[in-house]
Each structure stands twice: as structure tokens, then as C-alpha cells.
């Protein structure tokens, strides 16, 4: 396997500009003769599909939901970053690049991150033109808020529903293209396989989730915008149907999977409440703008929070990180919450795995009305779920699985190592290194979909002009037969455990050993336990109903089968990366204060894993990370 | 822990007759969500060798709009301004009987059990619920100031999650609340002005074509809306529609191709 990152010549600042001047193009007259498949309709998929269709390509977009507007990007709350410097507080393109690289603990590709920072400002322009109702100040200009890991105020927002509004903007652009006949939407359709012919991506095999029918679609290029795989943990902030299947099927057909163990655990979530819970609820990081995080100084303190005087409270983030305080990056905030709870300072309920997030000072300083206008929906949501009023007593929070920095390996053009197969948004690995900063995922998804892919896809399509393959090619028959076989195999096991119960079992193992803290011993034991779950799955699975028509148990079973294989790779990746960096906290590598210790000499690289076949060990390929503009330093938020 | 009797609508497909089936649930933790209770029901059914109940759900935090159940006659179930996934079991009492049905409307054909096809709403958006822009350089946002109240009102309308509870709640199965929310969001903003007239005409006509019913000001939609969308937007849309029909009765850009 050859990994060519295709980073253009020139200084980091000039690479994107140079690239655009030399990239090959497809003329408007020829674009309608190209078919492009987009899998997924979230921010990355919808923005890519609508942009490509508007350019004139013939686009087919697939999603498993009943309409593209329900993709999980819709749940992003807090905001989207852009280096507009509207506050005149020292923001620049370089500063956004710097923050992202530092936030990612110097494990991201410099050229990609700089391009992301450059494109960030145009996203705000684009979304505003689409009618996205960003928050405005009284003078009519755009408002900003702050997010973790930065010292400027560069986050744009629509109340607590920024993802929803940006997604609806992209969705509406798609609907317009559908009206014009340039885009065909295939809802309630799930990918089963990627079809490669002579080493190139030529189409996909899908299952119609309503009829159960297996069908093929041929195309000149396939774009995966299928999101992240946080649901490997069973309990996560992802939508319950979010899955790794599209990315994993591509991986099994030869696409390298990069840094699978880089998982972001979001610090401000509602703590786990019971065994039957299958979904964790996140509350926007923006709460840390005004809320103060603390635990009682006395272990096992059972007093109500209001009864605990100031002098007996431990504001651990403010004390340990005076310059960033409560706005440290997510990995740091999460790890410290875990540490204080491990040490027995967690607050009552949820097995003492929770800390306080307190708005008492903010309410007395700014007034309840102001706080309510800023965060009202989050306060309501918390009360609805926990039946406690956060205006009166502090929120109880605990970290939960949220985002995957890892994903399919892509080059600078966002193409995987399979020619013609692209990955955009959370599905790729490219821009966030070992930890993503808040409000940067929306930015990356939309930069990929609106501005990068539409300019780089022509570079590939230009070279394959008039080289068409249809679904009558035998490879499609073969892939369809494979997909049917797999479904038959799943349906015929006839055991006793449901996909949901096996999924929960898998999730508990991965959370325990490959979650917020990892160590060699634990990872090895997790690998053994995952193998056991895999055996149980393929020998004792029970799927009620039949394979014709709607069968949600079958859908879940297919996803869990892929999660089991992914979990194994995640643990191998975490075991192999014998250093700590960003979210990847190997307990063997920490300072006495519990901060991460990187090993730049050995691990300044991307681990891209190659699938070698069923039951065979994956093979690692390393893409070295080069630092031209910003040399790695010890990441400090003190 | 509470025990419940559930009467759940079971229907194999649009062409087959459906009926309620009754299931008993014991020891339900009042802290779990309504859909977690439905997951438990499905685990129980699978254990008994029966076929689980099909229902749509995804984000489970009240924003994706997948939920499409009617619980005890109310779309999304009990509770002010929330979707089914946000309903917690503590809202029910031990021994309660629950009647669980799909959203019912002519424009929402049933798929199976509690799952319906709401693509008619997508087609209403398709007919004009957007501002036509390509991906490329755009004016600096602050060059067109939008006053705070206008931005907030646009946001009030834009919060619609497209679940269709308004249609399910309306005795006429009208989609006026859904359509007016999108029309008002876009027609209020300066960026939405060039297409404001064609937008309202086309979306209203499409709504009728999709066989949604007429509005008779019953306001059931507003009551059922999980996002508190106001029926004021329906009045605003009616006003926009009248003006557009009087002033500018032209056809949609029809012949103008996508650039």
C-alpha cells in the first residue's frame, strides 16, 4: 500500500492557492456526464452533494434516515469557528491554525489545518447568504462566543442549535438541486459495500431499508460522508443509528483507516443514569464560558451543593490552569473530571461519577435573564432529563464519548488511497490531530463539502473521462452476492442474544479499556474480550423477523458486526501508539501532575492501518508529519 | 419501578389492515426515556420470539425530528414542547394504560407499525424553501446588518425540526405550520427577498398538491409543536401569499436553469 499525501509545493500559507492554480478541471459541458455518489447527508455530505450538483455533476446522495435533514450534524449545539477577528482580539488565520494544531497535540497534517483556517471565514459568508440566522448584536452585526482551548472569541452561533441551522442551510441547497433534477436523493438506504474495479472505486451496493432489496449504483467517484464511529462505545452522544459501516466496508476493500483510537470524550454531558440507557446527552461546551467546574474538597461530602461554602470547594480547572481556567480543551477538561472522580471527590449520584458545573456566580453577576437568553434551551433540556433545576443548584456533568478524530486516511485532495473514493467530514482523519477543539467539526465538514472537494474532485475525474462502467459489470453481481450472503449468515445464526445486548457488551469493554485512559495491560485484555464478543456474536445472535422489508434488528446487527472489528483495530492502534497525545492518554506516559507526555521522536506520524483479510493482523503504515510553520512544543494551558 | 399496559399499533405495511396489540411491561425505571422503554419492549418481544415494533428514532435528544408516535392521542406524547424521545417515564404512573399509534395523515403513508413516510414535507421544501446560492465567494455578512429582533424571529421560525407533529395534530392534516415556519424564516431575512414571492406561492401550492388539508385556525398544531412554533407565522404566510398573488402572479423561475 502506498500513501501519497499529495501535499502541494510552496510554503504552508501558499499551498492551497498554488494547488488551485494547477488542479485539473472538468468543463461545465462535460460535468453532467459524470455520476458522483455521496454517502451520508450531514454537513459534509449535504454541502458536498449540493455543491457538486450545482456545478453540474449528476449526483446521487444516500442516507439511512427518512430524510437528509435528520443526519446527526443536526445535533451540534454550540457553534462554528471562523477567523473573522470581528472582536479585534488578536485573531488571525495563523492563530486559528496554531490553536487547532496545538489543540490536536501536533498530530495533524499542517497543510490541511492551515487550509481549514483559511477557508473558515468563507463558511460564515456562505451560510449567511443561505439564510442561516446567526445570532446578531443589537447593531445588526454577527455575535460571537468563546470556546475551549483558545484565547479569542471566534465562535459564531445560532442559539444552541448551530448544527441544525447549518445543516438545514445545506439541506435546503440540496432540495433546490433535487428540484432542478441534478441531484437524486435515496433516503432509507444503507450502504453494504463499496465496489472497486481494477483498484478504483466504481460504485456501491446498498440495502433498501423499506423493501430489504439489495441494489447496485455505479458512479465515477464515490464520496463517503458517513460521520464518526463513536457508537462503538454503545453509550455515546451520537444518534443511535450512527455507524461505521460505510467507512469500515471501504476499509475492508482496501482503504487505510487512520488513527482509529483518537476518540474525543466530551466533558459536559449528563451523567449516566442507569443500565438501560443507550444514549448520552451532551450539553454545549459554551456552558463553560460562564459556568465554573468544581467538586467538594472533602471526599464523600453529602451536603447539598448550596450548603458547601466557597472555602470548601475545589475549582480544579481554575486552580490547575489559571490562564485558560474552565475553558481548557475538551481532552484536558474530561481527563481532570475523571481524575477527581477516581480520587473519590465525585459528587453524589451516578456512582459518584459526576462533577458540578455551577452558574451561581454568573447568575448573580449577569442576572438570570441574560443567562437564560444565552443558555435557556440547555438549562431546560437538563431539567427535562434530570428533573433538577440548574438555575437553583449546579449542573452535574460527566464526560461522554462524542467525536472521532480518526477515520479513513485521505490525501490533501480528500481522496483515500483507493482512487475515486473520497472521505469528507468526520469520516476522514485529516484535520484535528489527537484532539479536536470545540466548534471546529462544523467548520471542517463545511470546508470539505463547500470548498475543498468541489475544487479537487475534478483533478481525478478529468483523468477518467469517458471511461464508464455500469452496474451490469460482473463485479457488481459479485458484491451484491457478498452482501446477500452476509445478511443470510446474520439471519441464520438462530442464537439467543439480541444485537442490542451484544452491542452493550462490546461498548462496556471498549469504554473500560480504550476510553479516557488506556494502558498496555488493559488494551491486551480488551483485545481478548472483544474476540470473545465476536465469537458470541457469530454463534449466538438472534434477529427476530425476516430480511424482507423493514427490520431494525437486522440493521443494528450489521452495524454491530462492523463495530466489533473496528473495536479490535482501535485497541491495537492504542496499544501500538506507546505515547500519550491529546485524547490518547496512555497511563504509562504522564507527568507527575497527570499531563500527557508525547514521544515526538517515535510518533510524529499518522498510523494508517491496512486490512489484510479476515482473521489476519492489520498492517501499519506511517505517514510522517512535517512541521514547517509551527514546531511542536509541550502543550500547556496553565 | 412502575408497570404499564401498552396498546401498540401493529401494521405490516400500507396495504394490510392494522390493529392494536396489547403488551404488559413490568418494572420500568421511571428515570428512563420513553424510547428506552420502547427498546425494552422490543427486547422483551424478541425474547418471546415475537417481532419487535418498528419506529423511527435517531438523535434521541429532540432535534432530528425522527420521532413520529402519537401517545394517548397526543403527537409525541405528554409534556410541553418536547418530542417523544424527550418524554421520561416519570411522567407516567404505576398501572397506566398507554395507546401508541403512528402519526396519521393522508400525506404521510404508513411504512410499518409506527413508521410513516414524511417525504411530502421534503417536497414542500424542494418547491422553494431555500435561498438559491452556489458555493463560492459571498458578501461579507456584516455588510448587510440584520437587527437583533429580526434575526431572533427568523430563528424562532427556523427552529422547526420537520417532524410533522403539526400535521398529525391537525384534524385537517394541514401542513400550514410547517410550511409557514420555513416561508417566514426566509422571507423575513434580507437574503430571502429576491425569491420571497415565488417562494410563498410555490410552497403553498405544493402543500396543496401533496394533499395536506386546509387550515381552519384550530391551533392544535401549535399545541403539539415540540419547538413551540407559533401560528403567528401562518398569518404572516397568508399575508405574504395574498400580496404575492396580487402583485406578482408569475410562475416560478421555471425556465431559469441552475447556473
pLDDT tens string B51-65: 999 999 999 999 999
Strands (E) located in A198-318: 200-208, 214-218, 221-224, 257-258, 263-269, 292-296, 313-314
CATH of the domain at B74: 3.10.20.30
B54 and B100, same domain (yes or no): yes
What is the ipTM for the molecules in this complex? 0.96
* B112 vs A282, A542, A550: nearest CB: A550
Asked if residue A568 belongs to a domain, the reply is: yes
A259 and A291, same domain (yes or no): no
Per the model's pLDDT, the better-predicted residue between A276 and A606 turns out to be A606
B206 and B239, same domain (yes or no): yes
Query: Residue A222 in contact with residue A39, Cβ under 8 Å?
Result: yes
B152 and B48, same domain (yes or no): no
| Residues of chain A neighbouring B159 (CB-CB closer than 8 A) | 159, 161, 164
Whether residue A175 and residue B129 make contact (CB cut-off 8 A), yes or no, is yes
- pLDDT digits 0-9 by tens, A170-203: 999 999 999 999 999 999 999 999 999 999 999 9
A191 and A273, same domain (yes or no): no
Give A107's pLDDT tier (boundaries 50, 70, 90).
Answer: very high
Is the pLDDT at A349 greater than 90? The verdict is: no
Whether residue A67 and residue B186 make contact (CB cut-off 8 A), yes or no, is no
| Residues of chain B neighbouring A400 (CB-CB closer than 8 A) | none
Give the other-Cβ count within 10 Å of A151's Cβ.
14
A398 and A409, same domain (yes or no): no
A226 and A105, same domain (yes or no): yes
B127 and B168, same domain (yes or no): yes
A264: closest CA among A402, A442, A428, A431? A402
Asked if residue A624 belongs to a domain, the reply is: no
Asked if residue B144 belongs to a domain, the reply is: yes
Tell me the whole-structure pTM to 2 decimals. Answer: 0.97
B161 and B60, same domain (yes or no): no
Query: Residue A336 in contact with residue A316, Cβ under 8 Å?
Result: yes
pLDDT at res. A277: 85
Is the pLDDT at A10 greater than 60? The verdict is: yes
Query: Residue A281 in contact with residue A385, Cβ under 8 Å?
Result: yes
Provide, rounded to the nearest whole percent, the portion of chain B with pLDDT above 70: 95
A29 and A174, same domain (yes or no): yes
A31: closest CA among A61, A8, A62, A54? A54
Containing structural domain, residue B59: 2-112
CA dihedral B68, B74, B76, B77 (to 10 degrees): -140
- What's chain A's average pLDDT? 96
Containing structural domain, residue A344: 266-402
Is the pLDDT at A508 greater than 70? The verdict is: yes
Query: Residue A381 in contact with residue A237, Cβ under 8 Å?
Result: no
Asked if residue A4 belongs to a domain, the reply is: no
As a whole number of Å, the CA-based R_g of chain B is 21
Provide the number of structural domains found in chain B.
2
A438 and A308, same domain (yes or no): no
d(CA A169, CA A463): 33
B106 and B123, same domain (yes or no): no
Question: Of A330, A335, A598, A635, which is the active-site residue?
Answer: A330
B134 and B93, same domain (yes or no): no
Task: Give residue A125's Cα distance to chain centre.
Answer: 24
CATH of the domain at B168: 1.10.1060.10
Whether residue B257 and residue A552 make contact (CB cut-off 8 A), yes or no, is no
Whether residue A172 and residue B129 make contact (CB cut-off 8 A), yes or no, is yes
Whether residue A276 and residue B36 make contact (CB cut-off 8 A), yes or no, is yes
| Final residue in a domain of this structure, among B112, B136, B165 | B112
pLDDT at res. A149: 86
CATH of the domain at A279: 3.90.700.10
* A276 vs B40, B65, B142: nearest CB: B40
| Final residue in a domain of this structure, among B82, B112, B142 | B112
B93 and B139, same domain (yes or no): no
d(CA A321, CA B61): 32
CA closest to A64 among chain B residues: B58
* A544 vs B40, B46, B133: nearest CB: B46
Is the pLDDT at A387 greater than 60? The verdict is: yes
d(CA B249, CA A92): 49
Tell me, letter by letter, the H, E, C secondary structure of A31-90. Answer: HHHCEEEEECCCHHHHHHHHHHHHHCCEEEEECCCCCHHHCHHHHCCCCEECCCCCCCCC
B122 and B39, same domain (yes or no): no
B106 and B125, same domain (yes or no): no
Asked if residue B255 belongs to a domain, the reply is: no
| Final residue in a domain of this structure, among B96, B112, B128 | B112
B93 and B130, same domain (yes or no): no
The residue among B63, B114, B123 with the most chain A CBs within 10 A of its CB, best to mutate, is: B63
Residue contacts between A and B (CB atoms, under 8 Å): 218
Q: Is A95 a catalytic residue?
A: no
Provide the number of structural domains found in chain A.
3
A215 and A347, same domain (yes or no): no
Whether residue A129 and residue B138 make contact (CB cut-off 8 A), yes or no, is yes
A131 and A255, same domain (yes or no): yes
- pLDDT digits 0-9 by tens, A111-142: 999 999 999 999 999 999 999 999 999 999 99
CB burial of A581-599 (b: ≥16 within 10 Å; e: otherwise) equals bbbbbbeebeeeeebbebe
- Section B107-132 average pLDDT: 98
Provide, rounded to the nearest whole percent, the portion of chain A with pLDDT above 70: 100
B157 and B236, same domain (yes or no): yes
A479 and A603, same domain (yes or no): yes
Amino acid at each position: 500500500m502506498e500513501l501519497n499525501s499529495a501535499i502541494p509545493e510552496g510554503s504552508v500559507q501558499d499551498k492551497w492557492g498554488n494547488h488551485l492554480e494547477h488542479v485539473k478541471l472538468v468543463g461545465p459541458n462535460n460535468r453532467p456526464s459524470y455520476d458522483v455518489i455521496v454517502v451520508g447527508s450531514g454537513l459534509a455530505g449535504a454541502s458536498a452533494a449540493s455543491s457538486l450538483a450545482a456545478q453540474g455533476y449528476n449526483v446521487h446522495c444516500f442516507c439511512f434516515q427518512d430524510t437528509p435533514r435528520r443526519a446527526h450534524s443536526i445535533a451540534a449545539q454550540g457553534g462554528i469557528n471562523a477567523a473573522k477577528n470581528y472582536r479585534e482580539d488578536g485573531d488571525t488565520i495563523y492563530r486559528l491554525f496554531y490553536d487547532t494544531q496545538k489543540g490536536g497535540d501536533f498530530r495533524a497534517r499542517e497543510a490541511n489545518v492551515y487550509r481549514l483556517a483559511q477557508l473558515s471565514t468563507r463558511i460564515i459568508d456562505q451560510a449567511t447568504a443561505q439564510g442561516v440566522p446567526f445570532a446578531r448584536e443589537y447593531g445588526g452585526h454577527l455575535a460571537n462566543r468563546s470556546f475551549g482551548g483558545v484565547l479569542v472569541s471566534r465562535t459564531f452561533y445560532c442559539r444552541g442549535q448551530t448544527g441544525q441551522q447549518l445543516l438545514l442551510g445545506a439541506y435546503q441547497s440540496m432540495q433546490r438541486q433535487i428540484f432542478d433534477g441534478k441531484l437524486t436523493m435515496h433516503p432509507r438506504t444503507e450502504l453494504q459495500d463499496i465496489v472497486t474495479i481494477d483498484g478504483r472505486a466504481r460504485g456501491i451496493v446498498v440495502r433498501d431499508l423499506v423493501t430489504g432489496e439489495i441494489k447496485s449504483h455505479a458512479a465515477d467517484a464515490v464520496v463517503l460522508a458517513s460521520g464518526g464511529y463513536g457508537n462503538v462505545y454503545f453509550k455515546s452522544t451520537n444518534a443511535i443509528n450512527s455507524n461505521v459501516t460505510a467507512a469500515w466496508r471501504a476499509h475492508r476493500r482496501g482503504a487505510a483507516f487512520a488513527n482509529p483510537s483518537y476518540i474525543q470524550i466530551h466533558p459536559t454531558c449528563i451523567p449516566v443514569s442507569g443500565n438501560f440507557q443507550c444514549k448520552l446527552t451532551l450539553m454545549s461546551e459554551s456552558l463553560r464560558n460562564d459556568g465554573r467546574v468544581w467538586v467538594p474538597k472533602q471526599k464523600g461530602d453529602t451536603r447539598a451543593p448550596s450548603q458547601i461554602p466557597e472555602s470548601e470547594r475545589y475549582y480544579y480547572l481554575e486552580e490547575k490552569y489559571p490562564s485558560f481556567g474552565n475553558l481548557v480543551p475538551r481532552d484536558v477538561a474530561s481527563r481532570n473530571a475523571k481524575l477527581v472522580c477516581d480520587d473519590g471527590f465525585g459528587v453524589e449520584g451516578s456512582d459518584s461519577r459526576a462533577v458540578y458545573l455551577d452558574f451561581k456566580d454568573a447568575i448573580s453577576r449577569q442576572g438570570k435573564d441574560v443567562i437564560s437568553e444565552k443558555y435557556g434551551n440547555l438549562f431546560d433540556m437538563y431539567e427535562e432529563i434530570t428533573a433538577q433545576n440548574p438555575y437553583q443548584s449546579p449542573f452535574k456533568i460527566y464526560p461522554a464519548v462524542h467525536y472521532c478524530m480518526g477515520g479513513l486516511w485521505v490525501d490533501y485532495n480528500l481522496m483515500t488511497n483507493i482512487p475515486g473514493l473520497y472521505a469528507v467530514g468526520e469520516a476522514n482523519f485529516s484535520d484535528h490531530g489527537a484532539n479536536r477543539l470545540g466548534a471546529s467539526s462544523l467548520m471542517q465538514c463545511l470546508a470539505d463539502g463547500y470548498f475543498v472537494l468541489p475544487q479537487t474532485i475534478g483533478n481525478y475525474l478529468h483523468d477518467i473521462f469517458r471511461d464508464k462502467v455500469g452496474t451490469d459489470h460482473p463485479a457488481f453481481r459479485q458484491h451484491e452476492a457478498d452482501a446477500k450472503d452476509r445478511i443470510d449468515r446474520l439471519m441464520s445464526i438462530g442464537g439467543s442474544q439480541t444485537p442490542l445486548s451484544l452491542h452493550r457488551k462490546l461498548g462496556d469493554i471498549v469504554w473500560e479499556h480504550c476510553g479516557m485512559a488506556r494502558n498496555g495491560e488493559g488494551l491486551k485484555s480488551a483485545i481478548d474480550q472483544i474476540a470473545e464478543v465476536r465469537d458470541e456474536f457469530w454463534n449466538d445472535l438472534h434477529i427476530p423477523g425476516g430480511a424482507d422489508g423493514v427490520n431494525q434488528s437486522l440493521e443494528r446487527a450489521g452495524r454491530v458486526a462492523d463495530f466489533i472489528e473496528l473495536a479490535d483495530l482501535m485497541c491495537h492502534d492504542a496499544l501500538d501508539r506507546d505515547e500519550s497525545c491529546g485524547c490518547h492518554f496512555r497511563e504509562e506516559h504522564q507527568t507527575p501532575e497527570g499531563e500527557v507526555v508525547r514521544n515526538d521522536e517515535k510518533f510524529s506520524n499518522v498510523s494508517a492501518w491496512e486490512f489484510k483479510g479476515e482473521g489476519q493482523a492489520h498492517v501499519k503504515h506511517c505517514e510522517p508529519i512535517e512541521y514547517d510553520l509551527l514546531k511542536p512544543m509541550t502543550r500547556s494551558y496553565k | 419501578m412502575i408497570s404499564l399496559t401498552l396498546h401498540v399499533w401493529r401494521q405490516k405495511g400500507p396495504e394490510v389492515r392494522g390493529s392494536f396489540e396489547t403488551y404488559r411491561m413490568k418494572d420500568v425505571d421511571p428515570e428512563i426515556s420513553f424510547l428506552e422503554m420502547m427498546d425494552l419492549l422490543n427486547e422483551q418481544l424478541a425474547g418471546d420470539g415475537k417481532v419487535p415494533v418498528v419506529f423511527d428514532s435517531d438523535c434521541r435528544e429532540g432535534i432530528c425530528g425522527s420521532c413520529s408516535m402519537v401517545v394517548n392521542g397526543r403527537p409525541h406524547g405528554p409534556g410541553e414542547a418536547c418530542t417523544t424521545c424527550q418524554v421520561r417515564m416519570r411522567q407516567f404512573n404505576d398501572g397506566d394504560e398507554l395507546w401508541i399509534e403512528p402519526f396519521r395523515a393522508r400525506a404521510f403513508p404508513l411504512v410499518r407499525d409506527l413508521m410513516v413516510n414524511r417525504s411530502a414535507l421534503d417536497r414542500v421544501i424542494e418547491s422553494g424553501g431555500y435561498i438559491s446560492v452556489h458555493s463560492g465567494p459571498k458578501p461579507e455578512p456584516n455588510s448587510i446588518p440584520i437587527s437583533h429582533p429580526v434575526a431572533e424571529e427568523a430563528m424562532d421560525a427556523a427552529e422547526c425540526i420537520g417532524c410533522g407533529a403539526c400535521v398529525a395534530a391537525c384534524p385537517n392534516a394541514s401542513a400550514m405550520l410547517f410550511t409557514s415556519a420555513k416561508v417566514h424564516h426566509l422571507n423575513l431575512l434580507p437574503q430571502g427577498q429576491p425569491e420571497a414571492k415565488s417562494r410563498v406561492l410555490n410552497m403553498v401550492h405544493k402543500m396543496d398538491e401533496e394533499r395536506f388539508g386546509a387550515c381552519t385556525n384550530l391551533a392544535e398544531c401549535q399545541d403539539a409543536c415540540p419547538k413551540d412554533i407559533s401560528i403567528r407565522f401562518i398569518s404572516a404566510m397568508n399575508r405574504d401569499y395574498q400580496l404575492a398573488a396580487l402583485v406578482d402572479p408569475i410562475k416560478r423561475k421555471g425556465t431559469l436553469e441552475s447556473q
